[in-house]
Structure 1
Amino acid sequence: MRQEAIDADALYVLGDLFEFWIGDDDPSEFAQQIRDEFSTLTQKGVPCYFIQGNRDFLLGKKFCKKTGVTLLDEHTVIDLYGKPVLIMHGDTLCIEDIKYQQFRAKVHTSWIQKLFKTLPFFIRKRIVQKVQTDIRHDKGSKSLEIMDVTQSEVENVMIQADVTLLIHGHTHRPDIHEFQANGRDMQRIVLGDWYHQGSVLVCYPDKQDLQVRNFA
């Protein structure tokens, strides 16, 4: 954000920037640092866009107001140098992971989110820690295929959006997939995680470059 995005036309974050975002009122030094970095970038004239992931679906209007970040819909078509491109977090593509989709439906219920946000921050933190532990245990019992995207759903959303390029995250399996659907050549670019290395997609007017960044 300090050295590269400052020269970009725009910065897009496709969710799961945080291990878990407990709320826009997070008082931690880390949360404030992230808010400051986004504010600095937007104040220098670089538009920043954010799609909520399954780990930061509670990021909301207060965060955006403080930082200048624009929150996008979970399925958003952007104009990428003259080409329509669908960007999304990607968890809605994993339709074979039925248990996760049921969990997702619950936590995206508006009244549940409102109730959670009214709880004291320390209680929310404890709840999140319990949920994260449960999720880790649940993942350990699932196959990689179930947790990956369903190809038919990928094709459906791309055809509905009338695009030939989809960019998403969530699965944390960086790759570029090429296939055909509805008589057209399609491409799906997947971003990786940021645990042991960085993963960015640098877009140019004539190409996209999926890059891995080694941490010093």
Structure 2
Amino acid sequence: MQLLIADLHLHPSQPDIAKGFIDYLRGPARQASSLTILGDLFEAWIGDDYRGDFEQQIIAELRACAEAGTRLAFMHGNRDFLIGESFAADSGCALLDDPTVVELGGQRVLLLHGDSLCTRDEAYMAFRQQARNPAWQAQILAMPVEERLALAMKLREQSGEANTNKAEDIMDVTPDAVIELMQTHDVRIMIHGHTHRPAVHDLRVGEEAAKRYVIGDWRPGVGWQLRVEGDELTLESFAI
């Protein structure tokens, strides 16, 4: 069995979700051969050099899960794009490029966080291009921790305010972008998170049937995962 999750947005202000994730790492994740996290594990990450007790606890639990035999992989999201090699080494997570093609259930599958598909949100796409620029990231990481913490809080507030004023369809994926990316990577299955709209979408890529799996976000009391057993892919929610 292989498991994929996304969008936990872990933060000290949401201890119930953090506890649910720790229980998940100690339970279901250890029954799986692999666990892949498709971004936004944390609500914010200002650099591998800043780790409070909360972050250290999550890293330790990830490491324990990896040492118990589960292969862990992590892909950057739009909230934790500054996670780096130090986090990966300490947590036992392999870092994945966004997007990445893997084999699941005997099929080629395209994994991505999902924010790159929201092309109708022009303001966000401009920010994303900046935020994924190594030079910009180096500039941010060179700032004192206090300034980075203030910047992270400011960006969270701005994101919340902006999303309140955006039409729902603008914050969802662009259908043409989905088809184009699947054609580019020659896949008929896509898995992502980001939109917080869990669903399995049937579509067509050229003349062939295809599927897009959207993993839901974790909230108090409820988590989401995509479970792969044999050639079966199952999107499901569960109590945490």
TM-score, normalization: structure 2? 0.87
For residues 134-145 of structure 1, the aligned pairs below 5 Å read: 134-145=158-169
Distance in 2 between the 1:38 and 1:84 partners? 27
Counterpart AA for 2:80: D
C-alpha deviation, 1:17, in angstroms: 1.0
Counterpart AA for 2:182: M
Distance in 1 between the 2:142 and 2:48 partners? 12
C-alpha deviation, 1:45, in angstroms: 2.0
Correspondence for 1:174:
198
Distance in 1 between the 2:188 and 2:205 partners? 9
Q: For 2:112, which of 88, 101, 111 is the aligned residue?
A: 88
Matched, 1:210 2:235: yes
For residues 115-194 of structure 1, the aligned pairs below 5 Å read: 115-194=139-218
Counterpart AA for 1:150: T
Matched, 1:23 2:56: no
Q: For 2:97, which of 61, 73, 91 is the aligned residue?
A: 73
Correspondence for 1:10:
34
User: In the TM superposition, what whole-angstrom CA distance separates every residue of 1:160-214 from its partner, at most 9, and x where no partner exists?
Assistant: 1111110000001000000112100010000111123211111111211111123
User: In the TM superposition, what whole-angstrom CA distance separates every residue of 1:97-127 from its partner, at most 9, and x where no partner exists?
Assistant: 0000001111112121111112222221111
Aligned residues of 2:72 and 2:93 also touching (Cα < 8 A): yes
Higher RCO structure, 1 or 2 (CA under 8 Å, sep 6+): 2
Distance in 1 between the 2:224 and 2:31 partners? 18
Aligned residues of 2:106 and 2:231 also touching (Cα < 8 A): no
Q: Which runs of 4+ in 1 moved over 3 A?
A: none
Distance in 2 between the 1:55 and 1:207 partners? 30
Which sections of structure 1, spanning at least 5 residues, go unmatched? none
Which sections of structure 2, spanning at least 5 residues, go unmatched? 1-24
Aligned residues of 2:33 and 2:69 also touching (Cα < 8 A): no
Correspondence for 2:84:
60
C-alpha deviation, 1:149, in angstroms: 0.3
Distance in 1 between the 2:121 and 2:145 partners? 30
Distance in 2 between the 1:177 and 1:188 partners? 5
User: In the TM superposition, what whole-angstrom CA distance separates every residue of 1:74-107 from its partner, at most 9, and x where no partner exists?
Assistant: 0101111321110100000011100000011111
Give the fraction of aligned pairs with identical amino acids, expressed as a percent.
Answer: 38
Distance in 1 between the 2:158 and 2:234 partners? 36
Counterpart AA for 1:204: E
What RMSD, in angstroms, separates the aligned Cα atoms of the two structures? 1.0
Counterpart AA for 1:52: H
Distance in 2 between the 1:27 and 1:15 partners? 18
